[in-house]
């Protein structure tokens, strides 16, 4: 197994390969959720920093650069892709916390807003995306917003609610305020 701090580079290779096979239709979605970090082999230490560093590394590799990156969390030494990738593969940052949403506005092509679909909670999410964009001097022209919602379909309403109850509880528990950057 490669060292966890270099796994974003493997993600760059995988997504660039998928993009080539799919005729330029791939999109990278990256987030700070438990499944996202575990899949990259990263701990959930300073998730906004980890995502920022991962996105920076991925984009530099897609641009054809030979990259050495000594980040706080993501490190990579003197590597490059051995094939040409589309440098403009879209990157979407997924989350619901203020720092991650602001990072999406600062550095991504789109945001995947997790589990915030009511008008007030979606407005909260979009305010943070706009705050991040403003901080970096970006305009959000062409920026895409998606919602990620847990759903279940059933002719029995109680069964549908029961099917997503544990997931929704997990979202609520993991949404408690954090002091991590």
Q: Is 127 left (phi over 0), alpha (psi -120 to 50) or beta?
A: alpha
Q: How far apart are CA 5 and CA 72, in angstroms?
A: 10
From first to last of the 181 residues of the chain, give the pLDDT tens digit: 566 667 899 999 999 999 999 999 999 999 877 665 566 565 677 889 989 999 999 999 999 999 999 999 899 999 999 999 999 999 999 998 999 999 999 999 999 998 878 898 899 999 999 999 999 999 999 999 999 888 899 999 999 999 998 888 877 776 655 554 4
- Placement of tokens 């991590």 in the chain: 180
CB 110 within 8 A of CB 146: yes
- Placement of tokens 């989350």 in the chain: 95
Q: What are the residue ranges of helices labelled H in 22-73?
A: 34-40, 47-62
Q: Count the Cβ atoms, other than its own, within 10 Å of residue 172.
A: 10
Residue 23: the pLDDT is 98
Question: Residues in the chain, how many?
Answer: 181
Q: How far apart are CA 88 and CA 72, in angstroms?
A: 25
């Amino acid at each position: 197994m490669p060292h966890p701090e270099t796994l974003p580079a493997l993600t760059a290779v995988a997504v660039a390969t998928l993009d080539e096979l799919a005729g330029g239709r791939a999109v990278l979605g990256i987030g700070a959720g438990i499944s996202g970090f575990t899949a990259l082999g990263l701990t959930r230490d300073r998730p906004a920093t980890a995502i920022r560093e991962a996105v920076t590394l991925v984009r530099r590799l897609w641009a054809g650069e030979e990259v050495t990156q000594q980040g706080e969390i993501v490190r990579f030494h003197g590597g490059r892709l051995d094939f040409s990738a589309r440098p403009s593969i879209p990157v979407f940052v997924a989350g619901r916390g203020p720092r991650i949403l602001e990072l999406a506005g600062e550095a991504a092509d789109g945001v995947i807003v997790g589990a915030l679909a009511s008008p007030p909670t979606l407005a909260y999410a979009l305010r943070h995306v706009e705050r991040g964009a403003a901080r970096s001097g970006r305009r959000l022209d062409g920026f895409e917003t998606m919602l990620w919602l847990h759903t279940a379909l059933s002719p029995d309403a109680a069964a549908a609610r029961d099917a997503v109850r544990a997931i929704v509880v997990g979202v609520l528990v993991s949404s408690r305020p954090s002091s991590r950057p």
